[in-house]
Amino acid sequence: MKNNVKKKEKVVLAYSGGLDTTTLIPWLIENFNYEVICVCIDLGQEEELNGLEKRAKSCGASKLYIVNAVDELCNDYILPCIQAGAVYENKYLLGTSMARPLIAKILVDIAKKEKAVAICHGATGKGNDQIRFELGIKALSPHMKVIAPWRMTDVWTMKSREDEISYCKKHGIKLNFSDKTSYSRDRNIWHISHEGLELEKVENAPNYKNLLVLTTPPEKAPNKETLLTIEYKQGVPIKLNGKNMKLSDIIKKLNKLGGQNGIGIVDIVENRVVGMKSRGVYETPGGTILYEAQHQLEELILDRQTLEFKQHVAIKLSQVVYEGKWFSPLRYALSEFVKYTQKYMTGVVKLKLYKGNIIKAGTSSPYSLYNESLSSFTTGDLYDHNDASGFINLYGLPEKVRAMVKANEF
């Protein structure tokens, strides 16, 4: 006798093990009768991955994928942003923004493999992540259905983290956090972000005692300097303190050293894509060091016009990445420009870390445009001081003519 029981449709859930995605498993089963396949992308969350499979299945998921994508994140997403010097609104080093398109890519790959009818994410209707996830999915699988519960207010009746905690308790799900002590966090190898609790009132100082995970407050950092040497080859960090290391290991080590020295704490009120302002605290110790090292090498090697234009590219790229348009033609084009500028970005950067500060300790490169003979106050063979007179006369001609017109001297 044939079994005529219809198979459940599958949904792929972007799963972190946090409150939102823990709540979503029983909610998807209860409201849509889906078979829930959880996908957790390992981007360097470390201990946050512990016990995920047991947690997911105890909540009703049929399967959990844990995909290690740390090196792909570092090499294909983080590195182009470091090389560009992309920083959103002068402070945010794009830790979450860079990771979301990669997560979308992997979700699409597994959804296709599992023949799922939809992809579900737990991003809220007020945030940026809903845009980043869904633009990535649209770019890679334009016909894939997306379920965004926080926007489905006719079915999703929860309005706060407290409501989610209550829902989980009613469904017999044990939680290891509470609404009183739990920030909304996102962590990967590059950074950790914190939102919620006292941070929602901009007049409050962050409670760093409870908040910080990667970083020591600068005032509690050691009373001695930490010396670093980073070696680059064509824009890629290849050695840390003389030791060959892949980029992900360099970031991990710099996170540790930078964190110990109070590097990379940012408290920012940023402009979200959806139009509102939001406040968050970001810890990016290793990333802050790498951005500074990149800058110090480039100021030695790039000519003035290229460096100036590259600063415009950095601003635009940061906006494109922040807005979730990683797979757009503009992002590819901007990254190609940046890639060309890295051709001669080879050299050694020395830095000192001290109580939240990154101090320049010397930079060298075989492609340096700095020439001691030219730059020295001592007269050298390559520069004739008399040449400056003609240059100044021509360079200042517009100012001179304007002044003469105002004085009616023509």
Which of these, 94, 78, 135, 76, lies nearest to 319 by C-alpha position?
94
Helices in 115-270 by DSSP H: which ranges? 129-140, 161-170, 208-211, 247-260
Mean pLDDT, rounded, for 307-326: 98
Q: Cα(311)–Cα(275) distance, rounded to whole angstroms?
A: 25
With bands split at pLDDT 50, 70 and 90, how would you rate the model's confidence at 1?
A: very low
Instruction: Supply the DSSP string of 180-247, one letter for each residue.
Output: TT--EEEE-SS-EEEESGGGGSTTSPP-HHHH-SS---GGGS-SS-EEEEEEEETTEEEEETTEE--H
Q: Cα(329)–Cα(325) distance, rounded to whole angstroms?
A: 9
Structure tokens belonging to residue 199: 């941070």
Q: Cα(224)–Cα(205) distance, rounded to whole angstroms?
A: 27
What residues are annotated to the active site? 20, 100, 129, 184
Minimum mean pLDDT range among 116-120, 161-165, 232-236? 161-165
pLDDT in tens, 327-348: 999 999 999 999 999 999 999 9
Check residue 5 and give its pLDDT. Answer: 58
| Phi/psi-derived region of residue 159, left when phi > 0, alpha when psi is between -120 and 50, beta in every other case | alpha
Q: Cα(296)–Cα(91) distance, rounded to whole angstroms?
A: 18
Measured in residues, the chain has a length of 410
* CB-based contacts of 217, cutoff 8 Å, min separation 6: 208, 262, 265
The DSSP code for 366 is T
Mean pLDDT, rounded, for 341-369: 98
> Residue with structure tokens 């009120």?
269
Q: Is it the case that residue 240 has pLDDT exceeding 80? A: yes
Check residue 408 and give its pLDDT. Answer: 85
Give the architecture-level CATH label for domain 190-364.
Answer: Alpha-Beta Complex (3.90)
Domain boundaries, the chain: 10-68+96-183, 190-364, 375-405
Q: Is it the case that residue 14 has pLDDT exceeding 70? A: yes
Which of these, 307, 279, 353, lies nearest to 92 by C-alpha position?
279
Mean pLDDT, rounded, for 303-309: 97
pLDDT in tens, 137-147: 999 999 999 99
Check residue 371 and give its pLDDT. Answer: 81
| pTM: predicted TM-score of the whole model, two decimal places | 0.92
Report CA-CA distances (Å) from 386 to 276, 389, 391, 395: 57, 6, 9, 15
Instruction: Determine how many CB atoms are found less than 10 A away from the CB of residue 28.
Output: 21
Structure tokens belonging to residue 402: 């304007």
Structure tokens belonging to residue 311: 């600063």
Check residue 381 and give its pLDDT. Answer: 66
Which of these, 81, 79, 120, 126, lies nearest to 103 by C-alpha position?
120
Check residue 7 and give its pLDDT. Answer: 84
| CATH number, domain 10-68+96-183, options 1.10.4030.10, 3.30.70.2740, 3.40.50.2300, 3.40.50.620 | 3.40.50.620
Q: Is it the case that residue 38 has pLDDT exceeding 70? A: yes
Mean pLDDT, rounded, for 347-351: 98
Report CA-CA distances (Å) from 43 to 67, 85, 191, 248: 9, 21, 10, 10
Structure tokens belonging to residue 227: 């010396």
Structure tokens belonging to residue 212: 């910080």
Which H or E run includes 68?
strand 63-68
Q: Beta strand 118-120 with 145-147: parallel, antiparallel or unpaired?
A: parallel
Q: Cα(386)–Cα(129) distance, rounded to whole angstroms?
A: 59
pLDDT in tens, 57-71: 999 999 999 999 999
**Amino acid identity of 368?**
S
Structure tokens belonging to residue 194: 């914190």
The residues facing 339 across adjacent strands are none
What value does the mean pLDDT of the chain take? 93
Which of these, 189, 226, 253, lies nearest to 357 by C-alpha position?
226
Q: Cα(169)–Cα(155) distance, rounded to whole angstroms?
A: 19
Q: Cα(284)–Cα(214) distance, rounded to whole angstroms?
A: 8
Q: Cα(247)–Cα(274) distance, rounded to whole angstroms?
A: 33
Q: Cα(20)–Cα(124) distance, rounded to whole angstroms?
A: 9
